[in-house]
Copies of this chain bind each other. A is one copy, B any other.
Amino acid sequence: MTDSNSRKIAAIVGGGVIGGGWAARFLLNGWDVRVADPDPDAKRKISEVLANARRSLPALYDVALPAEGELSFVGSIAEAVSGADWVQESVPERLSIKHKVFAEILAAAGPDAVVASSTSGFKPSELQEGNEKPGQIMVCHPFNPVYLLPLIEVVPSPKTRPDLTQRAGDLLRSVGMKPLVVRKEIDAHIADRFLEAVWREGLWLINDGIANTQEIDDAIIYGFGLRWAQMGLFDTYRVAGGEAGMRHFIGQFGPALAWPWTKLMDVPELTDELVETIATQSDEQSGHMSIREMERIRDDNLVGMMRALKKNKWAAGAVIAQHQAAITPDFPEIKPEPLLLARRQIPQSWTDYNNHMNETHYLELFSVGGEVLLNMIGSDEAYVASGKSYFTAENHVIYVAETKQGDMVNIKAQVIDGKGKKLRVFYWIELDDGTLCATGEQMQIHVDLKTRRACDPEPEVRAKLNAIAEAHANLPLPDGAGRGIGAKR
């Protein structure tokens, strides 16, 4: 056991993708990690997982994670587990191998070390068979990628020491995970039983030529997968049942659904008692929220997740991106007046605790408008691919009126200076009734993407920019242009 001033130690016994994921989770949360794995490839495998983890886990947080711990590779299980706070076994899924490994682990581990298995195939009582210290052994079953997904199924057997189950939960929470204690051990624990049910159904669909892997994956990612990332089976159906609630939902759909099921396999009888059990549990789970409230939470979650996927042009996000491209208006006509570059509704996710649009998103609106302007002058995807682009040098935002969720806003722009390498633009955010919400002023510089230094734009971009700059040349300098903070208005 380490004293409270030194870093905690995790021993990783078996270092594949799962062991590597555990190693990364502990390391990036400031633990020292010792890996025992006879595989000569273990170092390479773990370093690859770690590279992925370093790229992604810190990105979840708006504060820095603790300074990374030290990673070492040791020659024996005894060396790895001696003095460790946590021992995680992720060796191949054969019980005889696991028994041998647990005997070695418990011969050298401290008496208060959590000794956990990543297994999905065995129950803790099976792992404990023949071991002299069964009380230290439990299952802590993770989900790939272990460095990102929070769920850990913590499965004790009746012999597992309750103080260690408690300690395991506390330590898992301290590295950002979500322990789900499985109260009765069962084959495959909880989550994998669902995965198996789905896998089995998928095999049948392919076997019978109904659908291929792509179609099955599409049926998941564009529909219920999105739902289940934020509300599970029962909360989803609770909301679907509406104000009438869970009893009503089961009453309405239960019997209808029984019909295809019974052709496939055995199902529990939906007795009044079982319906009552489910409805009562659902009330305990989510009865503190109204269905309307849950609908809004669900929708906000879905919007946020789909916007994240849209940024990556992936799955549901790709569908939205394509649709957006189809409904994006043509470039505005060039006239001696500000250009209407963009028009959009303010999403709920852009608001903050002051119940108005957060300061950051005003700049995002100018940035979106600026993108349209750059596309208009030919500084587009192909131009960037050719090695030229514009970088922003300065931005100045003046907040004039509060903007609320659901407001439809128009983003207008006037080119103040388009000479040489410079692109100086003034922006307005207005409501449809002309109310001014904010102004923005932006200085961009044309750059060579190889040298990352300023250079003149290509002639075709210069020509298109000049056309706009000339049309705007006689417009008055907008109110606020060139102003510094703290200046008298």
The interface centre, meaning the residue of A210, A213, A224, A298 with most chain B CB atoms within 10 A of its CB, is A213
Per-residue interface assignment for chain A, residues 196 to 216, with 1 indicating a CB less than 8 Å from any chain B CB and 0 otherwise: 111111111111011111111
Q: Which residues of B contact A97 (CB under 8 A)?
A: none
Q: Does A103 contact B (CB under 8 A)?
A: no
Q: With A219-B151, A231-B221, A242-B17 in contact, is A60–B396 under 8 Å at CB?
A: no
The distance from the CB of A388 to the nearest CB of chain B, in whole angstroms, is: 11
Do B267 and A203 touch across chains, with their CB atoms under 8 A apart? yes
Contact of A345 among B59, B257, B285, B396 (CB under 8 A): B59
The distance from the CB of A340 to the nearest CB of chain B, in whole angstroms, is: 11
Do A229 and B232 touch across chains, with their CB atoms under 8 A apart? no
Question: Chain A binding site: helix, strand, loop or mixed by DSSP?
Answer: helix
Contact of A221 among B188, B213, B230, B274 (CB under 8 A): B230
Q: Which residues of B contact A184 (CB under 8 A)?
A: 209-210
Q: With A60-B306, A347-B59 in contact, is A233–B399 under 8 Å at CB?
A: no
Q: How far is the CA of A196 from the CA of B233 in the complex (A)?
A: 11
Do A301 and B285 touch across chains, with their CB atoms under 8 A apart? no
Do B211 and A392 touch across chains, with their CB atoms under 8 A apart? no
Q: Does A178 contact B (CB under 8 A)?
A: yes
Q: Does A391 contact B (CB under 8 A)?
A: yes
Contact of A406 among B54, B270, B441 (CB under 8 A): B54
Per-residue interface assignment for chain A, residues 218 to 232, with 1 indicating a CB less than 8 Å from any chain B CB and 0 otherwise: 111111111111111
Q: How far is the CA of A277 from the CA of B214 in the complex (A)?
A: 12
Do A261 and B200 touch across chains, with their CB atoms under 8 A apart? yes
The distance from the CB of A289 to the nearest CB of chain B, in whole angstroms, is: 11
Per-residue interface assignment for chain A, residues 231 to 265, with 1 indicating a CB less than 8 Å from any chain B CB and 0 otherwise: 11111000010100000000000001101110111
Q: Which residues of B contact A143 (CB under 8 A)?
A: 223-224, 227
Q: Does A159 contact B (CB under 8 A)?
A: no
Stretch at the interface among A160-168, A322-330, A331-339, A455-463: A322-330
The distance from the CB of A471 to the nearest CB of chain B, in whole angstroms, is: 20
Stretch at the interface among A106-114, A126-134, A352-360: A352-360
Chain B residue nearest in CB terms to A273:
B207
Per-residue interface assignment for chain A, residues 95 to 130, with 1 indicating a CB less than 8 Å from any chain B CB and 0 otherwise: 000000000000000000000000001000000000
Do A62 and B368 touch across chains, with their CB atoms under 8 A apart? yes
Q: Which residues of B contact A218 (CB under 8 A)?
A: 151, 178, 180, 232
Contact of A278 among B206, B233, B292 (CB under 8 A): B206
Q: Which residues of B contact A206 (CB under 8 A)?
A: 274, 277-278, 281
Q: Does A398 contact B (CB under 8 A)?
A: yes
Q: How far is the CA of A188 from the CA of B270 in the complex (A)?
A: 20
Q: Does A70 contact B (CB under 8 A)?
A: no
Do A309 and B301 touch across chains, with their CB atoms under 8 A apart? yes
Q: How far is the CA of A297 from the CA of B199 in the complex (A)?
A: 23
Per-residue interface assignment for chain A, residues 384 to 403, with 1 indicating a CB less than 8 Å from any chain B CB and 0 otherwise: 10000101111111110010
The distance from the CB of A294 to the nearest CB of chain B, in whole angstroms, is: 11
Q: Does A272 contact B (CB under 8 A)?
A: no
Do A145 and B302 touch across chains, with their CB atoms under 8 A apart? yes
Do B207 and A268 touch across chains, with their CB atoms under 8 A apart? yes
Per-residue interface assignment for chain A, residues 359 to 384, with 1 indicating a CB less than 8 Å from any chain B CB and 0 otherwise: 11101100110000000000001001
Q: How far is the CA of A266 from the CA of B266 in the complex (A)?
A: 10
Q: Which residues of B contact A84 (CB under 8 A)?
A: none
Do A62 and B232 touch across chains, with their CB atoms under 8 A apart? no
Q: Does A421 contact B (CB under 8 A)?
A: no
Q: How far is the CA of A48 from the CA of B389 in the complex (A)?
A: 46
Contact of A145 among B215, B263, B274, B298 (CB under 8 A): B298
Q: Does A169 contact B (CB under 8 A)?
A: no
Q: How far is the CA of A67 from the CA of B328 in the complex (A)?
A: 13
Chain B residue nearest in CB terms to A381:
B353
Do A417 and B486 touch across chains, with their CB atoms under 8 A apart? yes
Q: With A319-B177, A367-B360 in contact, is A394–B384 under 8 Å at CB?
A: no
Contact of A229 among B226, B267, B282 (CB under 8 A): B226
Residues in A420-465 with C-beta less than 8 Å from chain B = 424, 441-443, 449, 452
Q: How far is the CA of A392 from the CA of B395 in the complex (A)?
A: 15
Q: Which residues of B contact A319 (CB under 8 A)?
A: 150, 176-178
Residues in A284-330 with C-beta less than 8 Å from chain B = 284-285, 292, 295-312, 314-316, 319-320, 322-324, 326-329
Stretch at the interface among A31-39, A75-83, A476-484: A476-484
Q: How far is the CA of A353 from the CA of B63 in the complex (A)?
A: 25
Q: Does A171 contact B (CB under 8 A)?
A: no
